Chains A and B, each alone.
Chain A
C-alpha cells in the first residue's frame, strides 16, 4: 500500500474526501463530549441548534460580521503571501479609533462615518507598519503582526483603565457609553448591527471582483502564485504587498468599529471586545482558499461554531473554549481532506 500524487483530482473525489474527513472530525469530537458525560448526538444537535430559530441565526450572523470583514481582507493578504496574523490587534485599534471619535469629538451627523474612517485607518496603520518593516528590512510579518497584537491589547487595557476610564463606571474597566449618534442600528431585538454586515458582504464581493476581474487583481495573483514571474514582469512587489496589507488592516479596523459601535456601545477590556475574531478569521480566510467571495460561506460557518459553542456552554456548562477544539478539529479535517484529495492510494504493493 502506498501513496502517489494525483495532480488533477476529479470533483467527485474532492467532495468525497472532504465529506469523509468532516465525518471523521465529528466522530473524534464525539469522544470529547463523551468525556464530559454528554451524549454526542445531543451535543451535535445543540451545536447546530442556532440554525433552527431566528434568534440563533441572529447569533450566528452577529459573529459572522467581524469574521467576514477580517476574513475577506485576510484571504487577499494570504493570496499574495502576506501572512497577517495580527488582525486581532488591528481590530482592537479599530475599536480605539471608533471610541476616540465617539467620546471626544463633538457628536454630529458624520460621527459614525468618522468612526469607521478613523478605526479603519488605525487598523491599516497597524498592518501597514508590519508590511513596511517587511518590505524595507525583510522582517517577518508573522512575528511583527503577532507582537503588535499585544501592543494593541495593552494599549486598550491602558486606555480603559487609565485616561479613558469612564466617570460613572466605579470599579469597572471601561469607558462611558457612546452617545446615541455613535451607535449602529440593529435588526430588531438582535445584536446584528446590519450596516457592518452590509459592509462585510460588500467587502467580500468587491475584493473578489478586484482580485479576479481587474488588472490590479491580476498582478496580485501573479505575485501571490509566482514571485519569480512577478520579478520577470517587473511588478512592484513591495508596493503591492503594502497596499494589500493596508486593505486587510483597514477591514479588520472596520470589524473593531462594528463591535464597539454595534454591540457594546463603549470601549471595554480587549477580551470582551473580541472573542478572538482576528484569529478565528484566519481559519475563515484559509478555508476560503484565497477567494474573498468564499468567505461569504466560511464566515457564517465559523460563526455557527462560535454560536453553537455558546449553546453548549449554557446547556452543559462546558467551557466556551470548547469551540476552539471544534474549530481545530474542523481545520485539521479540512487540511487532511485537501491532502487526501491530492493523493491516490495504491493498494497493491
Chain B
C-alpha cells in the first residue's frame, strides 16, 4: 500500500531521519515506536507533506509519489489525526468538519448538515454536529479530528500519539474504532511511545531511535522488554525505590477552593510530610494545573494552606523564596526562549547578581556553567539562548534552577513530559534525592507508571475534587484509573 524507501531528512547538522524504510499494507496497523526526539514526528511530517525528504522516495501502491503539501497528501488518500486537536473552538462540529471537505466558497448550512449526515451514516461515532467545539471534552475533540480525517475516505490513516489527551476509557473506544477501520481495509500508522498501546493495537512494530530504524518486529515477536531495549538501546533499570517519609509536616492543605470557569478546584485537603511524595493523577483539565498554580501563588484561592506551620503567602516570588520550587506544566512558562541559559538559570534570583545596580554577568555565567555541568545541560555555552535547546535540556534548565536552593516543597507537574527515557530517569533520581534529604513533593503527572514508581501516597483529581489519597501499597494502575475516571477510590 504505502512504502517509504531510504528516507533521510536533515535539519542543518542534525539528522532527524536516516535511511528509514517502512511499509504498511491494506488492513494493517503499523506502530511507530520511539522516544521523544527519535524522529517519529519528522517522518510523519514528511508523509503528510509538511517537509520534503532530502533523500529517498515514497511509493503509494507501487507508484512513486511526491507530497509537496498536506493538500496533496489528502488528495493521495493520506489522512492525519494530529497529536493535539487542531480545531476551531468557536465553531461547531459541522463547521469544523466542513474544513475537511472540498466545498464551494459559498454554501448553505442545511446542505452541509445533510451531506455530513449522509457521510457519517456508516461511522458509529455519535457526535452532535451542532455542538460548539469549545464545549467538547478532549476525547470528543479527537473524535471530531478522526471524523474529519475519514471524510475523504483515505487509504492511509496516520494517528500521532492519539491517546495522550484521553482517559483510559476513551482510549479504549479509540482502539475499537481503529480495529474497525482496519477491518475495512485501511492502512493505519500509529505513533506512540506507550508500550501497552502499541502491543494492544499493532500488527507490526517499527522502533526508531535517534533518527534510525533500529528494529521491526511482528506483534508475535514483540514483548515489552524487547521493545524497551530497542527504544533506549539498553535494558531498563528497575523503577527507583522511594524512601520512607519522616514525621515533620511540610504542607497542610485544608478545603482549598480555586475559582475559575468550568470546574474549580473544590475543597481539596491533604497533608504532606517531609520526604514524602504525593502523586496526583487525573484526566487532563481536572484541576491539576489550578491546584499547583494556587499553591505556587499564581492564582487566588480560598482555604487554609500551611507550609512548615506558616500560612503560605499568595505571591509567587515570596512562595519561592520560602523554599517552594515549582516545575510548571508547560516548559514554555518556565523559561524565556530568547534569553540565555545563564539568564534562565538566574530567573528566580537575578536581583542578587546586582553590583552597584548593574548585573554581574560574569558571576551569573560562572554559576551557570557549574549548574550546567551538575545537571548535564547540553548547550554550547551559558550564553546560548534557551530557544536553541532541546526539550529535555530545557527541562533540565528548569530543574536546575528550581532545585538548586534545596527546596523544602517541590510542586512538580509533568516533570518528565517529552523528556527521553534516560533524562526522565535522571529527573526521577533528582527528585527522590531531594525527598531523601527531607523535601516534600507534590507530583502531578499523566504517566501512571511514574506516579506509582515515585509516590508514597497516590490520589486523583476528578472534576476538581481530590479522590484519595490512598497509600501507594494498596494502589495499582486499575484502581488509579478508576479514581481518575469515576471519582471513587
Which chain A residues have a beta carbon within 8 Å of chain B's beta carbons?
A: 2, 4, 7-8, 209, 213-215, 218-219, 221-222, 225-226, 228-229, 231-234, 346, 348-349
Q: State whether B335 touches A229 (Cβ < 8 A).
A: yes
26 interchain pairs (CB within 8 A)? A2-B52, A2-B68, A4-B51, A8-B12, A213-B358, A213-B361, A214-B354, A214-B359, A221-B336, A222-B336, A222-B347, A225-B339, A226-B332, A226-B337, A228-B333, A229-B332, A229-B333, A229-B336, A232-B326, A232-B328, A233-B348, A234-B315, A234-B318, A234-B320, A349-B52, A349-B66
The docked-state distance in angstroms from the alpha carbon of A339 to that of B387 is 18
Our pick among A215, A228, A229, A348 for the contact of B351 (Cβ within 8 Å) is: A215
The docked-state distance in angstroms from the alpha carbon of A221 to that of B336 is 9
Q: State whether A233 touches B317 (Cβ < 8 A).
A: yes
Q: State whether B339 touches A233 (Cβ < 8 A).
A: no
Interface set, chain B 328-345, CB cutoff 8 A to A:
328, 330, 332-339, 343
- Chain B contacts of A214 at CB under 8 A? 354, 357-359
Q: Which residue among A221, A228, A232, A348 has the maximum number of chain B CB atoms within 10 Å of its CB? A: A232
Q: State whether B328 touches A215 (Cβ < 8 A).
A: no
Decide if B297 is an interface residue (CB 8 Å cutoff).
yes
Decide if B181 is an interface residue (CB 8 Å cutoff).
no
Interface set, chain B 289-347, CB cutoff 8 A to A:
296-298, 315-320, 326, 328, 330, 332-339, 343, 347
Summed over the interface, the residue pairs from A and B with CB atoms below 8 Å come to a total of: 75
Residue of B nearest to A232 (CB): B333
The docked-state distance in angstroms from the alpha carbon of A222 to that of B337 is 9
The docked-state distance in angstroms from the alpha carbon of A228 to that of B331 is 10
- Chain B contacts of A232 at CB under 8 A? 296, 298, 316, 326, 328, 333-334
Q: State whether A234 touches B359 (Cβ < 8 A).
A: no
A-B pairs, top 7 by smallest CB distance, nearest first, are A234-B316, A234-B317, A215-B351, A228-B333, A226-B336, A213-B358, A218-B350
The docked-state distance in angstroms from the alpha carbon of A209 to that of B358 is 9
Q: State whether B334 touches A213 (Cβ < 8 A).
A: no
Interface residue tally for chain B (C-beta within 8 Å):
38
The docked-state distance in angstroms from the alpha carbon of A222 to that of B349 is 13
- Chain A contacts of B326 at CB under 8 A? 232
The docked-state distance in angstroms from the alpha carbon of A2 to that of B66 is 13
Given A209-B358, A215-B351, 16 further pairs, Cβ under 8 A:
A4-B51, A214-B358, A214-B359, A218-B359, A221-B339, A222-B339, A225-B339, A226-B337, A228-B333, A231-B298, A231-B333, A232-B296, A233-B317, A234-B298, A234-B315, A234-B319
Interface set, chain B 362-416, CB cutoff 8 A to A:
387-388
Residue of B nearest to A215 (CB): B351
Q: State whether B347 touches A229 (Cβ < 8 A).
A: yes
Our pick among A219, A221, A233 for the contact of B316 (Cβ within 8 Å) is: A233
The docked-state distance in angstroms from the alpha carbon of A346 to that of B297 is 48
The docked-state distance in angstroms from the alpha carbon of A348 to that of B56 is 13
Residue of A nearest to B350 (CB): A218
The docked-state distance in angstroms from the alpha carbon of A8 to that of B388 is 8
The docked-state distance in angstroms from the alpha carbon of A231 to that of B272 is 26
- Chain B contacts of A225 at CB under 8 A? 336-339
Residue of A nearest to B50 (CB): A4
With contact pairs A214-B358, A215-B359, A218-B343 given, residues A346 and B315 touching in the complex (Cβ less than 8 Å): no
Residue of A nearest to B388 (CB): A8
- Chain A contacts of B315 at CB under 8 A? 234
The docked-state distance in angstroms from the alpha carbon of A22 to that of B330 is 40
Instruction: Looking at the assembled complex, report how far the CB atom of B259 sits from the nearest CB atom of chain A, in whole angstroms.
Output: 17
- Chain B contacts of A8 at CB under 8 A? 12, 388
- Chain B contacts of A2 at CB under 8 A? 52, 68
Residue of B nearest to A229 (CB): B336
- Chain A contacts of B359 at CB under 8 A? 213-215, 218
The docked-state distance in angstroms from the alpha carbon of A193 to that of B316 is 48
Instruction: Looking at the assembled complex, report how far the CB atom of A218 sits from the nearest CB atom of chain B, in whole angstroms.
Output: 5
Q: State whether B334 touches A229 (Cβ < 8 A).
A: yes
Q: State whether A215 touches B354 (Cβ < 8 A).
A: yes
Q: State whether B52 touches A348 (Cβ < 8 A).
A: yes
The docked-state distance in angstroms from the alpha carbon of A113 to that of B51 is 62
- Chain A contacts of B338 at CB under 8 A? 221, 225
- Chain A contacts of B347 at CB under 8 A? 222, 229, 233
